[in-house]
Amino acid sequence: MKRVAFLLLDGFALMSTASALEPLRAANLFSPTLRYDITLLSDTGRRATSSVGGVFETRPYRDAVPLYDLLFVVAGGDPARIHDPTLFAWLRQADRNGVALGGISGGAVVLAKAGLLENRRFTVHWHHYEDFDRLPGEWLLERRLFVIDRDRYTCAGGAAPLDMMHAIIARDHGTRFAQRISDWFIQTEVRGADAPQRRATARTYGAVPPPVEAALDLMESHVADPLSQDQIAALSGLSIRQLQRQFRAATGRSVMQEYRRIRLETGRELVTETRLPLTEIAHMTGFSSQAHFSDAFSALFGTPPSALRKRQGPD
């Protein structure tokens, strides 16, 4: 069982919150045991009020010791105006306790102001993009539906939490179980992490069998914390041999060859578009060391990342 908390900041969007909560509720409903223990917190007391007046019974976050497996900050309105040292300190304590942190809708703005998004890829609702232009620092903001970077889980709000929760539940309990939940909510098309900025899987690879598509979605959402081949096969609902056979027929490459290519493509974007140290980029793309990353990068792209960065020249 995983302990998941939602910190609802006043003015949060009801749709974003429901899109995040309902898949976890359904996961518990469809399971013989409790899969997710959910706690609702607020900064205002025993009740949190959404932007349309919907009310949730909550616990004050100040009374809660931040010892969850995953904690989401859900924020709407104008989160850039939030400056609460007590709240920021509590979130930093959660981070020190090993809690994975997430931001829904404008939640990433709050995490950033607390100093908890440095050297992390993340996303936020498009309405809040300009907030990061005004915040001091260098931000790895990606205009995507959701981003999972190691212990940070961020999404754009609206219906996007449905897709992020699908990725989380698929990782925890397999794609067949996650698909059952998506079907329950008439979510006939689960969008990948890069939607709508990236091309759909069908346009990138052509028509692929569902287990291959599931494996590709798992790879896209687990760049910084790579899954093993055994995990990908099990979560996709096939044996390793079956998945390898279908994968080669669909893509012309093995499962792990394609997984490494996806991770290195992300690395190339970070090399050319940021000034992050190569050691940090190696960790963000799931490599154990800069040397390992550089060797794999050179093998795929024909040049080491250090040489590619030099060719980009100064900003």
**Residue 286 to residue 261: CA distance in whole angstroms:** 12
183-225 per-position pLDDT tens digit:
888 776 666 666 543 445 555 677 788 889 889 988 988 998 9
**C-alpha gyration radius of the chain:** 20
**Does 52 or 38 have the greater pLDDT score?**
38
89-102 per-position pLDDT tens digit:
999 999 999 999 99
pTM of the shown model: 0.76
**CA-wise closest residue to 122 among 91, 92, 154:** 154
140-163 per-position pLDDT tens digit:
999 889 999 999 999 998 889 999
Minimum mean pLDDT range among 48-57, 204-213, 236-245: 204-213
Cα–Cα distances in angstroms (integers) from residue 315 to residues 143, 270, 272, in the given order: 21, 14, 11
Euclidean distance between the first and final Cα of the chain, in Å?
47
**Side-chain-side CA neighbours of residue 126 (13 Å):** 7
- Phi and psi of 141, rounded to 5°? -75, 130
Helix H or strand E segment including 306: helix 305-312
**Residue 201 to residue 207: CA distance in whole angstroms:** 8
**CA-wise closest residue to 110 among 98, 122, 96:** 122
**Residue 292 to residue 210: CA distance in whole angstroms:** 32
Mean pLDDT, rounded, for 94-115: 97
**Does 38 or 138 have the greater pLDDT score?**
38
